[in-house]
Every structure is written in C-alpha cells, then in structure tokens.
Amino acid sequence: MTDNSVNMNIRPEVEPFFDPATNTISYVVKDPNSNSCAIVDSVMDIDYAAGRISYESADAIIAYVQEKGLKVEWLIETHVHADHLSGAPYIQQKLGGKIGIGKNITVVQDTFGKVFNEGTEFQRDGSQFDALFEDGDTYEIGGLRAFAIYTPGHTPACMTHVMGDAAFVGDTLFMPDGGSARADFPGGDAGTLYDSIQKVLALPDEMRLFMCHDYGPNGRDIQWETTVADEKAHNIHVGGNKTKEEFVKFRTERDAQLDMPKLIIPSLQVNMRAGEVPTDKDGRPMLKVPVNAL
C-alpha cells in the first residue's frame, strides 16, 4: 500500500455519460498529464422483457475514448449494481484495461450465489475481476495516483474512488436534494451507510463528488456533480449535522416503502461475474428468476 493522501492540485478531466433507461451516469476520467484514463461504472443495455442485450451505452464510451486517443488503464466498478448491468468486459475486449472492484465482492458472490442456486463452477473468490481493492489501496492512471475508500452500507462491497480532486461515490450518496441510497439489500445496513457517508464528507470541502445515479427529484434536470461542502450543508438525509440515529430511523422507514429495482435479477447475476452473462449447461446465455428469494 502506498500514500493515499489527497492531491487537490491534480484535476482530472471527467466526461459523463448518462443512461436514461437506468438513470446511471458512467464516467471517463482522464489523467491531465497523459492520455491514460479510467472508466467508472459502465452500462450494458438490456431489454429484459425481450431477453435481448445490446451495447449502445458502452459503444458511446468506446467511440469517445477512440476519438480522443485515450488509453484505458482501469474499468472501475464502485459496487455490484442492482439497477444496471456492467459493460466492463465488453469495453475491456475493445479497449483493454483492468476491471477492479472492492474486495468484499466475495461476500456478495457468496450471498447471491445461494439466492441464484449457483453450482460449484461459480467461483466466489472474486477471481472474475482483475483487481480487488481494500480500504486505502492505490492504483495508477498514467501519472495520476488514485485510491479507494471502503464505504459499505448500501452493499458490503461499496468503494469510493478518489482521483485527484474528484471522487466517485457510487451509490453511497446522491445529489444534495436526492439524499442517499437504500440500505436494505442483503448485506446493507443504514448505520454502516451513515458511517461511510461521513468518510466521504471528511474529504476536503472542495473535492468534486460524482454520482452514479440521479433521478431529477421534483422535476429538475438530471445532475451528477457536486462538492463535499454542498453535501455537508444541503444533503437532505445527512446534511446540517444530522445524527446517526436520525439517519437510521429515516432510512429504515423509507427503505421499507421501496420496491425492488426493475433490473435487480439480471443485474446481480451479471455484475457479480464482472459483467459476464451466465450460461446454461449447453453454453447458452441464460438468466435465472428465483421466486420469493429477494
């Protein structure tokens, strides 16, 4: 492990890609001093009712990277998403780079390996990924040193990735008027999420924060960038020095009213495999639908 101090003097170029079908924002993050980049939380498209997968979202990112002459060093997954499928292996096949996720992917794989009744051929050791990050681990994007902060609560494998003056928070936080993500998935915990949010809010006030999702609350335009200072002052769930007890009470009551994400069944099966679609005994792409299991 190497130094993971924040360098606010390095300002990576961040290009967002919004997917309206899942309200996901993916990012290309470029080292300002080279052509190296990372891709954060890419999307693979699915028409679930028709059982068809396509790659328009990933192709848009690929076209941008190629147009700018960039070199992909990393494909970062902030967590195992339950609301969209990862496009990381498709992009990796086209552009290279290493796929990385938090070390506790193994916890998610063990939990949902049971839910989906996966056989022994499904490895639960995270070996589908190229890198498993622990709290404080660093990695290089050209000359830009990035590091991962362990921020569980939404899921047990959530990580926030800090790249210069930009932090990619996954679902740990939403925009100030959006609050925070749910904490009722298996392995989630509202108290743990509050503690993780405090880790993010302990970063410098000027740190740019980039969201993985935005839903345009109250009809406003979609947004994805804010700052630590704005979140501390204005976040409707944790801002203004709200206590852990207040947050846990609200989050628990709120989560009990939420429906499951529309794409949770295919998303979990694909994303716990680093974005690969599972196959049946004959090698055909196939998804399972467990009944009364979630």
pLDDT tens sequence for the chain (294 residues): 445 677 888 899 999 999 999 999 999 999 999 999 999 999 999 999 998 999 999 999 999 999 999 999 999 999 999 899 999 999 999 999 999 999 999 999 998 888 888 887 888 988 899 999 999 999 999 999 999 999 999 999 999 999 999 999 999 999 999 999 999 988 899 999 999 999 999 999 999 999 999 999 999 999 999 999 999 999 999 999 899 999 999 999 999 999 999 999 999 999 999 999 998 888 899 888 888 876
- In the block, residue with structure tokens 């916890």: 107
Query: Exposure pattern of 188-221 as b/e (b: 16+ CB <10 Å)?
Result: bbbebbbebbeebbebeeebbbbbbbbeeeeeee
pLDDT at position 167: 98
Q: How far is the C-alpha of 191 from the C-alpha of 154, rounded, in Å?
A: 10
- Sign of the Cα torsion 188, 168, 175, 234 reads positive
- For 46, the enclosing helix (H) or strand (E) is strand 45-47
Q: How far is the C-alpha of 24 from the C-alpha of 290, rounded, in Å?
A: 25
Q: How far is the C-alpha of 82 from the C-alpha of 95, rounded, in Å?
A: 25
- Residue 203 CB contacts under 8 Å (≥ 6 apart), including other chains: 6, 162, 167, 228
pLDDT at position 294: 67
3-class SS of residue 75: strand
Q: How far is the C-alpha of 77 from the C-alpha of 158, rounded, in Å?
A: 9
Structure token pair of residue 74 = 């990393």
3-class SS of residue 233: helix
Closest CA to 45 of 56, 34, 30: 56
Question: At 262, which amino acid appears?
Answer: K
Could you read off the pLDDT of 180-195 as tens digits, one per residue?
A: 999 998 889 999 999 9
Q: How far is the C-alpha of 142 from the C-alpha of 192, rounded, in Å?
A: 33
CA 166 to chain centre: 15
Q: Looking at the domain that runs over 13-271, which CATH code has it been given?
A: 3.60.15.10
Q: How far is the C-alpha of 40 from the C-alpha of 38, rounded, in Å?
A: 6
pLDDT at position 1: 40
